[in-house]
Structure 1
């Protein structure tokens, strides 16, 4: 069995490429890994791939066409996006990829529209009984009641901790904004990422939680897997709230000192800390390849708790 995989917006995702290589070998699949980015010559993951391509930024009207050109020319079987903003255009083009015989690893637009909007995330999850922080749209000039301070101010469509800040009172609020923002309950307590794998039948097959011990630029740098029925219950709630979600997703939860666990963000893709779940035995990359190759699934929820990840900077040299 031979498959060709394309990692888009590959950036620094060398760890993700390594997970797919090991998974393919374990499943008996011959795998070619392609990668694309705006500047592939400056991407570590593109250098680690078998072949790399330059593509326009995700906001460019020609972005999806450029990905489709690679799929057609190289016989790509699976496209795996890695950043939130590219999910929307790729989800809108699912049918175009399927017409070429390729699966793009993205949930339908109805799921992405919720995950990419923090206000809708809070509303949809709360409607499914998932505990969430209070969240309100922020309009320049609006003032919360005194009981609402301090709070988080964050872009409604933000990711990787972009643009978030703590506001202690009305005097900290901006007079003007250039994108949709929300004010959200300031949560105080340990933070966790829960990685989920939902199979093609819509069944939640695995939920792996890790404590975010240290974070850099919104991505976990040091983490440890922890098994607690609470996290499985939260994952089941997220899956219930998003019944059309498929593949790999992750969500963030803080166990607040006063209100208990609160889910505040969903990433409908492989999270940056996925290699920790993979090393703990939850090989989502393998299970995804098995689906694409129509092989029997080895998906399970028997992963190891207490696995510690300590990331460090490495380098790729050329010339």
Structure 2
């Protein structure tokens, strides 16, 4: 049985549905399971083929519990979805492999560079991609963009327009980075879904222009075939340690060929459904590469200028009494 598990499923209903569609097209009896710390309150768990609760990622029992649940449900492939679980899964990947379970995750060393935005900047620059200028507290140029070096979901970020906006709580916070302010009047922000095969070779690049972001995830976006595709294909063709779907964020100048890298998330992002619906079928490629041992070929025939407009929908659960 080629069952799949999507961890920290939360609200990733579209991601689960994409795996259900692609998996059953290959094996009608195969199932897509989900796991979450509180599955009863996770919408994606209620539309999957089965779910179970897991301890917090920081719990020492997490890996053992997850492996046991995989074995009990004939799960052969694990798809992580949040930043905090990536390092522990990558560090323990051999424990899963011993049990015949594949985990689609990048190398631990690469993940650490992605989690620390300072190291991410160094990574971009090593591959020839510019980044916003970084300042220290003694040479700030206002306005300045402030963010934690290990943050996610846009938490803790703000723009300081003058020195009085920098409070003692900020100067005492060693986790804050001070970056060049990038004006949305000059630049558009893009999230790029990249697919890297088992050999860390780039197979597909789909830039998504972020029109509206809510809680750190794209609420409205549009696919664009632009200079980003050429730049990534040329400069990031081989990204050592990267595997599976990566979401890379950049700023692209509206009128000039200027691109600045800002973030790398080595996992399926919240806006991936737009990439999937544009024809770049990363879901299918993951299944074929990891479960069927097929080689993924280069792909560029996805639909450009495809607009995604998201809305809230309901998942109803009967007999809830907690």
TM more than 0.5: yes
Cα distance between partner residues in 1 of 2:174 and 2:155: 12
- 1:143 corresponds to: 138
Cα distance change on mapping 1:30 and 1:263 into 2, 3 Å: farther
- 1:35 corresponds to: 34
- 8 Å contact from structure 1 (residues 77, 292) kept in 2: no
Q: Within the alignment, does 1:186 sit opposite 2:185 as a pair?
A: no
Cα distance between partner residues in 1 of 2:68 and 2:173: 34
Q: Pairwise CA RMSD of aligned residues?
A: 1.9
- 8 Å contact from structure 1 (residues 19, 285) kept in 2: yes
- 1:49 corresponds to: 48
- 2:87 corresponds to: 88
Q: Which whole-Å deviations, capped at 9, do the CAs of 1:54-101 have from their partners, x for residues lacking one? A: 112222222222212212222211111111111111111111111111
Cα distance change on mapping 1:88 and 1:21 into 2, 3 Å: same
Q: Which whole-Å deviations, capped at 9, do the CAs of 1:263-302 have from their partners, x for residues lacking one? A: 1000100010001000000000000000122254464221
Shift of 1:190: 1.0
Q: Which moved more, 1:53-62 or 1:278-287?
A: 53-62
- 8 Å contact from structure 2 (residues 207, 228) kept in 1: no
- 2:231 corresponds to: 233
Cα distance between partner residues in 2 of 1:57 and 1:135: 34
Q: Which whole-Å deviations, capped at 9, do the CAs of 1:189-234 have from their partners, x for residues lacking one? A: 2111110011113221100011111110110011111001333413
- 1:157 corresponds to: 150
SS of equivalent residue, structure 2 residue 209: strand
Cα distance change on mapping 1:183 and 1:221 into 2, 3 Å: same
- 8 Å contact from structure 2 (residues 212, 221) kept in 1: yes
Cα distance between partner residues in 1 of 2:118 and 2:260: 14
- 1:294 corresponds to: 292
- 1:166 corresponds to: 159
Match of 1:244 among 241, 246, 255: 241
- 8 Å contact from structure 1 (residues 239, 245) kept in 2: no
- 8 Å contact from structure 2 (residues 211, 222) kept in 1: yes
Shift of 1:310: 0.9
Cα distance between partner residues in 2 of 1:306 and 1:68: 41
Shift of 1:28: 4.9
Where in structure 2 are the equivalents of 1:59-138 lying within 5 Å? 59-136=58-135
Cα distance between partner residues in 2 of 1:174 and 1:100: 51
Where in structure 2 are the equivalents of 1:272-311 lying within 5 Å? 272-297=270-295, 299=297, 300-311=299-310
TM-score, normalization by structure 2: 0.91
Cα distance change on mapping 1:151 and 1:49 into 2, 3 Å: same
Cα distance between partner residues in 2 of 1:10 and 1:192: 24
Cα distance between partner residues in 2 of 1:270 and 1:291: 16
Cα distance between partner residues in 1 of 2:119 and 2:296: 34
- 8 Å contact from structure 2 (residues 81, 267) kept in 1: yes
Cα distance between partner residues in 2 of 1:98 and 1:22: 26
SS of equivalent residue, structure 1 residue 190: strand
Q: Gapped runs of 5+ residues in structure 1?
A: none
Cα distance between partner residues in 1 of 2:131 and 2:236: 11
Shift of 1:150: 1.1
Cα distance between partner residues in 1 of 2:117 and 2:233: 17
Give the paired residue count.
Answer: 311
